[in-house]
Structures are given as C-alpha cells and as structure tokens.
C-alpha cells in the first residue's frame, strides 16, 4: 500500500490539466455520493431482468437447430451532474425465434420508462418489421412500421450522426 508521501509525490508529477480529474476521483472516494432511490430501483429491476432472462434461456433455445447458439447480452449505466436529473439505463437483447428483441430500462431527465423493440424480416424477405412499445408516465404507446427490404447488393440511405441529432435523413 502506498504511503501518503508517495501519493503526494505522485500527484506532484501530474500535469496541471489533469489535476481536476485527480480531485474528482479523490473527492468521490472521501465523500461517496448518497445512493439515489430511483437509480437503486432501476438497478434492482435490471438485476431481476437478468435473472429472468437466464431462467428463460432454455425456452429461447428450444426448437433451435443444434448449431444455433441462443443467448442474451446487456449492459448500461447511470449518471448525472450538478443541476442535472438522473440519466441512463440498461439494455438487454435476445432472439425470440427469428425476432430480435431489445428491452431498455431507462431514466431520462429523472423520468423512468421501458422501451421494448422487436425487429424481424418477413418470411418472404421483402419487408423488415419494426415494433416498439414505450411504457412511460402511466401510458403505453405502441407502433409498428414495415420497411421494404433492398435487393441483395443494394442499400438504402443510412442515418448520419450530426451535431444536433442522430438518425435524421
């Protein structure tokens, strides 16, 4: 374990522009933030969701070809800054048959919501079907969109990242 003098010498070697990072890290160790009940609740829901998906894995694998590997993945995190409300979430994805499902547990500006999205290609491979369910503020909003599929080797316009938005074509 390093001594205080060793830590002080280490800090003395830091470039001035990095001292704010050192301060923030030391401050968070000395004075950890008080747990936020809203974030704690979403973390518990996320942990329950992981357990439920693990228990459902055999069901998701049932009927698949032996060479097909079925599983799920997920991750996420939360944060906020001075004067900001809680932001962040956890996202999990898996396959139900040929349908790709994503379930997001989110907090946006301190408001909790669940977003469930399903994406699949029709059997004749002519359309991509996108379904979305948003659970927020005591409401459920559902929508379904069908997109024509480009012939093999061709593509449609893609979303571009801009300074003000993502996905506007």
pLDDT > 70 fraction of the chain, expressed in percent and rounded:
80
The answer on pLDDT for 35 being more than 60 is yes
Task: Report residue 116's pLDDT band, with 50, 70 and 90 as the boundaries.
Answer: very high
What average pLDDT does the chain have? 82
What is the structure's pLDDT at 151? 75
Of 5-14, 58-67, 102-111, 128-137, the one with minimum mean pLDDT is: 58-67
- Annotate the chain with DSSP letters as a single string: ---HHHHHHHHHTS-GGGHHHHHHHHHHHHSPPPPPHHHHHHHHHHHHHHHHHHHHHHHHHTTS-TT----EEEEEEEE--TT---EEEEEEEEEETTEEEEEEEEEETTEEEEEEEEEEE-TTSSEEEEEEEEEETTEEEEEEEEEEPPPTT-------B-SS-BS--
């Amino acid at each position: 374990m390093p001594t205080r003098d060793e830590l002080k010498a280490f800090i003395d070697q830091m470039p001035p522009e990095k001292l704010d990072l050192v301060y923030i890290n030391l401050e968070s160790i000395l004075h950890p933030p008080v747990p936020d009940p809203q974030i704690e609740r979403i973390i518990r829901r996320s942990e329950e969701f992981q357990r439920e998906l693990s228990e459902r894995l055999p069901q998701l694998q049932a009927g698949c070809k032996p060479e097909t590997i079925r599983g799920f993945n997920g991750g996420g995190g939360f944060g906020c800054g001075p004067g900001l409300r809680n932001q962040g979430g956890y996202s999990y994805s898996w396959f139900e048959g040929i349908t790709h499902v994503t379930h997001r547990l989110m907090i946006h500006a301190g408001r909790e919501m669940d977003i469930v999205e399903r994406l699949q290609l029709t059997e004749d491979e002519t359309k991509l079907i996108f379904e979305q369910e948003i659970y927020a503020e005591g409401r459920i909003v559902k929508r379904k969109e069908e997109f024509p599929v480009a012939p093999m080797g061709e593509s449609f316009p893609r979303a571009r990242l801009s300074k003000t938005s993502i996905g506007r074509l």
